[in-house]
Every structure is written in structure tokens, then in C-alpha cells.
Amino acid sequence: MYFFLDEGVNVVRRWFWQQENPEIEWAAFQALLDIYESGGPRSIAASTVDFEGGFFGLKVARRGGILPCPIFTLGPLDEETEITFLVGARWDDAKKRVRPYGSVGTAEEALELLQANPTRRRRG
């Protein structure tokens, strides 16, 4: 599991810390990552939303506050054994979509930068 870096900073972690209750949301997100690490992709399938084009969101369900939904892709260096989180986002449950609306596009741009420079990610 990896995280895209912007100026050496984990973009997903930065996004979480910019939210209203970062510790609560980060802990819930970390719990899903731990489940993924021990059980693989099938273990988080119920929390994953497919945005098509190779991009997925990991919905972090919790009561109250925002519903984080960081966007990730399989790989990109090895699609069988790794995932890389590219951008922080939240899930809009009423509209059944990710916000901000351009998050998937931002993830695409991050992936292009990562493919051009594979050192722009860090193991999570």
C-alpha cells in the first residue's frame, strides 16, 4: 500500500488533517487499511466504490461528520500486489458521488505524475 506525495507530503494524510475531526476519521481509515493489509482486496470490497477508469474510492463509514472516501488505483507498478492512494476526498451519501466533484480528475493527474516519477509515493 502506497500514498502519492506532493512536495514530499502524503496527500491523503494532509487531506485528513484539513478536515474537521482528523483524528477520528484517520483512525477509521487506518482500521480499513489494517483490514486490507491482513485480508487483501476482498476484505475491503464492501467499502470500495468503483469510479471506472481504474480508480476506486475507499468509503470510511462513521456516524456524524464527513464520510472520507480517498481515491486509489491498483498498482501502478504492480497491479496484483499493491494499491496507491492518490487523493483525499469525501463521499456525498445524498448524491451517491465523491466530492469535490473533480477528485477523480485530480487522481488521474496524480497518477500521471507518479508514472513519470515513481519516487513520488511512500509506503503506508
In a domain, 123, yes or no: no
Between 4 and 42, residue with greater pLDDT:
4
In a domain, 89, yes or no: yes
d(CA 71, CA 50): 10
In a domain, 78, yes or no: yes
In a domain, 124, yes or no: no
**Domain residues for 20?**
2-116
Sign of the C-alpha dihedral, residues 75, 79, 81, 85?
A: positive
Q: What is the pLDDT of residues 23-39, one digit of tens each?
A: 888 899 999 999 999 99
Task: Indicate the DSSP class of residue 66.
Answer: -
In a domain, 62, yes or no: yes
Between 99 and 78, residue with greater pLDDT:
99
In a domain, 111, yes or no: yes
Q: How far is CA 64 from CA 19, 31, 107, in A?
A: 13, 18, 26
Task: Indicate the DSSP class of residue 68.
Answer: B
In a domain, 122, yes or no: no
Q: What is the pLDDT of residues 58-72, one digit of tens each?
A: 999 877 778 999 999
Total number of domains constituting the chain: 1
